[in-house]
Amino acid sequence: MDTVKVSTLTNSIRFNGVIDFNTDKVAGIFPLVSGNVQDIKVMLGDYVKAGQTLGVVKSSEIANYNSALINTETNVLLTKRLLQQQRELYKSGLASQVDVTNAEVASEQAEASKVAAQRILSINGNNLQGEYLIKSPISGFIVQKNITNGMAIRSDNGNSLFTVSDLKEVWVQANVYEANIGKVHQGDAVEVSTISYPDRIFKGKIDKLMNVLDPANRVMKMRVVLSNPDYILKPQMFATVMVNNSENKNAVSINSSSLIFDHSQYYVLLYKNKSDVQITPVDIISINGSIVFIKGGVLPGDILISSQALQIYGALNE
């Protein structure tokens, strides 16, 4: 049985959307040097940790950076010895202050060149074996992979080698048509359902309204952020976003299981007693999930049959 109630009237609006990456937590890994790719260690879909090596690039550029560092270190030692000699000669009267100053400048320039070479090598992985190690900057899943063993890469390539995404949070990007723009607001509670998990509802809020219309299809994008601790929501899944808007008025409400549709009319089974069950027509205001708002036919407190209502309706008609 279901008891007729009075509830705050809410309207449900459904929007089509798609699960997407949280782009604030996505890292594209681009080549910093040219070379040949070797020893790829991960595949598409693998989970990686921040700092984990994903592959190795044999690079002449890294070898040149190593060579440049060795040359600057040698130059530092040489200029320090020359400076020491000039200072000793100056004490003996065999060198001028200008000679000492020139030696000091040369020593400082050598130190600066060494620091620059160290920083350049550090930016490129700080490897002393002529190899560039491709490492993940964040923890997450490999969601894109555009690299294979033996592949030659260049530093001016505009495509990422790997894309890593932290899928603990995902975005739902939904389309809002012009007629519904005034009915959605940032912060509104939403319920998201997917084809993959039809019996599961994911609750969230509207995080952002883009406030511009796509000129091609005349829709505004709406973004919902969902927690995804079990990683069950995958990017590019289709989703349905339902927004519930409450109005400042009450209406009679019943459970959707009590509702019967037949011959273009909605009915309910009004229960008086075991010998008196009446087929009663009702008009629908709106349907919000399992709650149906109606007008006419029943009053608050009335008892309705809500289990196997359609079969009982058929038997009563016979």
Region 28-55 average pLDDT: 87
Nearest 5 degrees, angle CA 36-CA 39-CA 42? 120
**CA dist 220 to 16, 24, 181, 213, 226, Å?**
12, 21, 8, 5, 20
Q: What is the CA radius of gyration of the chain?
A: 36
Greater confidence, 46 or 159?
46
H-only helix segments in 93-175:
97-123
Side chain identity at residue 286, one-letter code: S
Q: Is the pLDDT higher at 124 or at 260?
A: 260
Tokens read off for 272 = 């008086």
Give the residue carrying structure tokens 């350049």: 120
Can you tell me the mean pLDDT for 159-175? 89
User: Sign of dihedral through CA atoms 63, 32, 160, 50?
Assistant: positive
User: Comparing C-alpha atoms, which of 126, 118, 109, 119 is closest to residue 75?
Assistant: 109
Mean pLDDT of the chain: 86
| Integer Cα distance of 289 and 11 in angstroms | 10
| DSSP summary character for residue 120 | H
User: Quick one: 214 exposed, middle or buried, by C-beta within 10 A (0-12, 13-18, 19+)?
Assistant: exposed
Query: 192 forms bridges with which residues in the sheet?
Result: 202, 241
Specify the pLDDT at position 18: 93
**Which neighbouring-strand residues pair with 194?**
239
Query: Which of 13-22, 254-263, 270-279, 289-298 shows the lowest per-residue confidence on average (mean pLDDT)?
Result: 289-298
3-state secondary structure 43-112: CCCCEECCCCEEEEEECHHHHHHHHHHHHHHHHHHHHHHHHHHHHHHHHHCCCCHHHHHHHHHHHHHHHH
Residue with tokens 């011959």: 263
Distance of CA 18 to the CA centre of its chain: 12
Q: Is the pLDDT of residue 10 over 70?
A: yes
Q: Which helix (H) or strand (E) holds 309?
A: helix 309-317
CA 34 to chain centre: 30
Strand-pairing partners, residue 144, are 163
Per-residue model confidence as pLDDT tens digits over 222-265: 999 998 888 899 889 999 998 876 667 788 889 888 999 998 89
pLDDT digits (tens, 9 = 90+) for 170-206: 999 999 888 888 888 888 888 899 998 888 889 989 9
When mean pLDDT is compared across 56-60, 165-169, 192-196, 197-201, the lowest value belongs to 56-60
- In tens, the pLDDT along 68-79 reads 888 888 988 999
Exposure letters 65-93 (e unless 16+ CB within 10 A, then b): bbebbeebeebbeebeebbeebeeebeee
Residue 126 confidence (pLDDT) above 80: no
pLDDT above 80 for 122 = no
**Amino acid, single-letter form, for residue 268:** V
